[in-house]
Amino acid sequence: MKKQILLLCLMFGLVSLAVAEEQIGVFANSNTNSIQLIDPVTQTVSASLLKGTLGSYGGGLFDVVITPNGKTAIVSNFGDSKIFFIDISGGFDATPTLLGQARIGFFAEDMAITPDGKYVLVTDGGFSSGIAVVDIAGMYQVNNQNFGNVYSNAVAIAPNGTTVVTADYFTGRINHFTFNPEDATLTFVNYARVLPTRPVNVAISPDGKTAIGVSASGHDHPVFAIHDGGMEFKGYVTLAHKSGQSCVFNSDGTKAYLLSNSTYYRAMIEVMDVTGPGQVVASGVSIPARPKKGTSQLFGVDTIAIDPAGEYLYVSNPTLSGGVQRISIIDLTINQQVNYVQGNGIPCGIAFATIAD
């Protein structure tokens, strides 16, 4: 009898652990003002959720980020200059709840959450040189600094919680800031001019030692080494297909995947090898993502994401013009598309998390 009770306890413990570590993804349908959830284990999606409650339809939903504890998703509405906070703690089978919103003093497009989950940094999709800092728990803006002629159209924050890197498409720069979590202020450090490339996005490796700027023009993308003393420009990684939109690293930082969307080849995933801080080379592997998607770019919106298991890459739309409903699923063990999920609109921003109690 004691053995049976012990087995039952172990079984319940394993079930509880499975629930506590449920995997979940979220993507935003820009034109239909809704989100959908992804179950990456079964590669299925939910119906449209919160439709019509995330600001105006005309504003357009763009980026999605998820807090480190996996319980809150944040979605940006570009035209409304707002971000929306959504409770996803119930997991895939529960209906998410709209928690609230925060108004931003510019067209809200790209977002990055600090590693402690306390703040979300927001950058502009237009010509503002501001970076907004929003308190996630309180859902209010605590800071919105203007940096003059230093523009930021995309933002990423390193795991140390203090190194912030932004992309400036208009002047062809990658900017370096420091963030003070005590008073939620940013300090501009310096920039690297990377013309003729025009960066629309930037990604930082999981160890915080490598940054890749994603250029919308040409085949070259700027690469940086990040260290205690600052950020060092290491040159360019040259890829087979041009016109980049988003970049994501795998969990150990040895691989990086960049979405390009040139007019001729359309959506292609370029695979890069990362051999050390700021040391990035093209692997020579290019993976088509079908159906074909549009050929312009969104500022900073992360339209590719790797599932929590690190096995599959999900590819949504790099732009609205020519956008399609299907999100491509690429098996990273064989570097080939194997499936897709269906959006109820034009999916753009996409992110994954692990729901943990």
pLDDT score, position 7: 41
d(CA 44, CA 63): 21
| Average pLDDT score over residue span 204-211 | 97
What confidence score (pLDDT) does residue 125 get?
Answer: 82
Of 31, 12, 28, give the one whose Cα is nearest residue 20: 12
When pLDDT is cut at 50, 70 and 90, the band that residue 263 belongs to is confident
CA gap 227, 278 in Å, rounded? 10
Scanning the structure block, which residue is given the tokens 């409903």?
325
Confidence of residue 10 (pLDDT cuts 50, 70, 90): very low
Cα–Cα distances (Å) from 167 to 112, 124, 199, 299, in that order, read 13, 11, 6, 9
Q: How far apart are CA 199 and CA 155, in angstroms?
A: 11
Provide the pLDDT for residue 59: 95
Strand partners for 165? 156, 176
Predicted confidence (pLDDT) per residue in 52-71, tens digit: 999 999 999 999 999 999 99
**pLDDT confidence of residue 229:** 73
Task: Tell me if 330 sits within 8 A of 316, measured CB to CB.
Answer: no
* Mean pLDDT (whole number) for 85-103: 97
What is the mean pLDDT of the segment spanning 269-277?
A: 97
Burial of 276 from C-beta contacts in 10 A (0-12 / 13-18 / 19+): exposed
Could you tell me if 162 and 180 are in contact, meaning their C-beta atoms sit under 8 angstroms apart? yes
What is residue 20's predicted lDDT score, i.e. its pLDDT? 45
pLDDT band at residue 345, thresholds of 50, 70 and 90? very high
Position 134 confidence tier, pLDDT thresholds 50, 70, 90: very high
- Entry pTM: 0.93
Nearest to 204 by CA among 257, 140, 159, 138: 159
Mean pLDDT of the chain: 92
Output the pLDDT for position 355: 62
Q: What angle do CA 165, 169, 174 make, to 5 degrees?
A: 30
Tell me: pLDDT of 126 over 90. Answer: no
The model's pLDDT over 169-193, given as tens digits with 9 standing for 90+, comes to 999 999 999 999 999 999 999 999 9
C-beta separation of 234 from 253 below 8 A: no
Rounded to the nearest 10°, the torsion over CA 282, 286, 289, 291 is 130
Question: What backbone torsions phi and psi does residue 182 show, to the nearest 5 degrees?
Answer: -70, -40
